[in-house]
Every structure is written in structure tokens, then in C-alpha cells.
Amino acid sequence: MKVVCSQSVLSSKLAPLSRVAPSNPSHPILANILLQAEGGRLGLSVFDLSLGMQIWLDAAVKVPGAITVSAKLFSEMVSRMPNRDIEITAEDTRVILDYGSGFFEIQGMSAEEFPALPTLEDVTPITLTAEALRRGLQGSLFAASTDENKQILSGLHVTFERDRLEFAATDGHRLAVTVTEQPVPAEPLSPITIPAKSLKDLERLMAKQDGMVALRCDPTQVVFDIGNDARITSRLLEGQYPNYRQLIPKTFARQVTVERSALADALERVAILAAQKNNVVKINIDTEAQELKLSAEAPQLGSGEENLPAQISGESMVVAFNVKYLLEGLKVMNSADVQLQLNGETQPAILLPLGEAQMKYLVMPIQIRS
């Protein structure tokens, strides 16, 4: 194999791949990156048998071929080379990286030992715009659990309906549901639960993508093809996802409309003290004054309060939340105003971005001790 490519382009493509390659793999070959030179392109692949990523870049292929090298070592070498063309040559299992003023030589392993990434090419794809998929991930992924003991909750649940996709994530304390309008195949598809870790890598990979994404899935795995240049594959999580729809109240006794950025800024300030003890923020909903009073206390340190104008319907009440949960929800909303919908002090509350009905964010209040 002999191929020439740009250092800056190669380095940028290696950045997401190096995060996926396992540092302590079950098999040595899985710590490697697969290089494939063919048809005027260089392919880069990593795979830990659960999550896989493949990215292609334009290159001058002098001799087609394939080899694997340490993903960590290869990425570090390329990132430190000067911004010029690199010639990569593989002879047997010896790989030479020549950048003009110097070179690296590293030991590789045969490409034949590298496991093949799933393609699911015989499955009819669902074609999404990158923007629609980004919106679905942005509006729900942050609420997935990070507790590995709650494996099914560490994933994003995707439901396919006739004219839309529904993305849902919960950690047991809050729930984010985002809907993307999207025609799906007439043949019914069962819901799937995808590990959040896999989708965070997908989200980063699509950060600057504007094209189409093809989604394919079977009962055990899912494949995302991002145009013709990148692919992410992931195993699916097994188990029954909670019936989250029954948790969302149908009616509300109180509705509070407030400017999103003003609420986020005020919460950021009171969070300084809330972070000193349990992250609890109290919200006094004052119907008569048509304002919110946000407060936090840290014993022996101090207290803080912020007042915000709001449009309030329903009776006054005091409710408490984990301030981090509120802020994380507000940060993924893009609307000018948001609406907080509530019933009682211990019943689920819903935060909605007004004008963006595709997202609902449920947060459980914290019981206030007298």
C-alpha cells in the first residue's frame, strides 16, 4: 500500500476515531485502526465489536492495499507532523509515514485480522436529513442515564411511526422526548434503544454535516451512513424500555411562560450556591405579582434570590428542582420563550420550548422539607 494525503485533513478525520478505539481491548487488533487505500480515497476504521466508526478522505492512491496500526500511536504521530502532504507506505506489516523533513516507522498488523464492520446493506434504509437527526439527538440525548447499572436507561429509545421519529431518553429523574417529522417505510419497524455513547460520537461526527443520513437496523444493531464519507455502527441495547408516555401528564393546573435566556441566566447565578448543597433551587410561582422568585441556600455560606417577570396562570405555589436538570434542558432549547407546566409540588413538571412543539422535557420536583 502507498498513499499520499493532507496532514491537516487526515488529522481532523482521526480525532473522532481515536476516541472510539478502546484503550484496553479484549483482542489486540481492536486497539488498531484499519487503513484502506482504494479508488482515490483512504478509509479509516475502528471497531470494538460494539461500536464501530469508518471515515473516508480523498487521497492519491499509488498502490492500493490495507493495513492496521495502533490507533493511539498513529493519531498522535499524525497530529504532531507539519501541515503538508504525508506519504504512507505499508510493506508486509511495516508502515512508514514520510512527511518530507522526517519520517516515522511503526509496526502494524495484517488487515485480514481486523473484524468487518456491519453494513446491513440488505436492509431498506430510512433516509434522514442530518439537521433532523441532529435535532432529535440534541433534544433528548442529554437526559440518558450515565449509570451502567441501569443499562437500558443508558440508551436513547427511538420509535418509528408513519410520518415521524420519536427520540426519548430518561435517567429516572427526568425525561426528554423529541419528535422529528420524517416519513418511514410502510413496513412497520419495532422501536430500538441505542447506547447514548454511540450517539454522542455520531452527534460529533455530524457537527458540520448538511447532507443526508441513511439509518439501517435489525434486531441487534444499527448503522448510520453519513453521505458516502462516514459510517457509525452500534449494537442495540437489550431489554424493555420504560413506558415513558404514561408519565407525561395530559392536563396542568398551572402554566408559567418566561424568557428562556433570562431564566437560564438567573438559574446559573443561583446555582453557584445551590451547588454547595444538593443542587436544589426553589421556585416561588407568584400569580398575583406575575413573577418567579428563584432562591438557593447553602447553610453557613449564604443564600441568593432572583426575581423574573413571567406570565402565570393558576394558583401560586412553591416548588423545588435540581438546578442542573433545569439548566441542561434549557441549554438544548433554541426558542425565545419557554413554558413550565405544573400540577402539584411533587408531581411531574414539563418544560416546553414555545414555537418548538417537537420537544417535551419532564422533570421530577424535589420534595421540600419544612
List the domains of the chain with CATH numbers.
2-113 (3.10.150.10), 126-245 (3.10.150.10), 248-363 (3.10.150.10)
What CA–CA distance (Å, rounded) separates 186 from 324? 41
CB 37 within 8 A of CB 2: yes
- Is 0.85 topped by the overall pTM? yes
Grid cell at residue 331: 441549554
Measuring CA to CA, how many Å separate 225 from each of 56, 107, 141, 186? 12, 31, 19, 21
Q: Which amino acid is at 84?
A: R
The tens place of each residue's pLDDT in the chain, 370 residues long, gives 999 999 999 999 999 998 888 888 889 999 999 999 999 999 999 999 999 999 999 999 999 999 999 999 999 999 999 999 999 999 989 999 999 999 999 999 999 999 999 999 999 888 888 888 998 999 999 999 998 888 999 999 999 887 888 999 999 999 999 998 877 765 668 899 999 999 999 998 887 778 889 999 999 999 999 988 999 999 999 999 999 999 999 999 999 999 999 999 999 999 999 888 889 999 999 999 999 999 998 888 888 899 999 999 999 999 999 999 999 999 999 999 999 999 999 999 999 999 866 899 999 999 877 5
Q: Which amino acid is at 154?
A: S
Residues composing the chain:
370
Nearest to 222 by CA among 156, 135, 161: 156
Grid cell at residue 167: 427520540
What CA–CA distance (Å, rounded) separates 330 from 139? 10
Grid cell at residue 77: 504521530
Residues 6+ apart with CB under 8 A from 264: 327, 330, 331
Nearest to 315 by CA among 284, 349, 346: 284
What CA–CA distance (Å, rounded) separates 294 from 270? 7
What is the CA angle 213-214-216, rounded to 5? 145
What CA–CA distance (Å, rounded) separates 83 from 81? 7
- Report the SS3 class of residue 112: helix
pLDDT on residue 186:
59
What CA–CA distance (Å, rounded) separates 327 from 330? 5
Nearest to 1 by CA among 34, 31, 28, 46: 34
Distance of CA 295 to the CA centre of its chain: 31
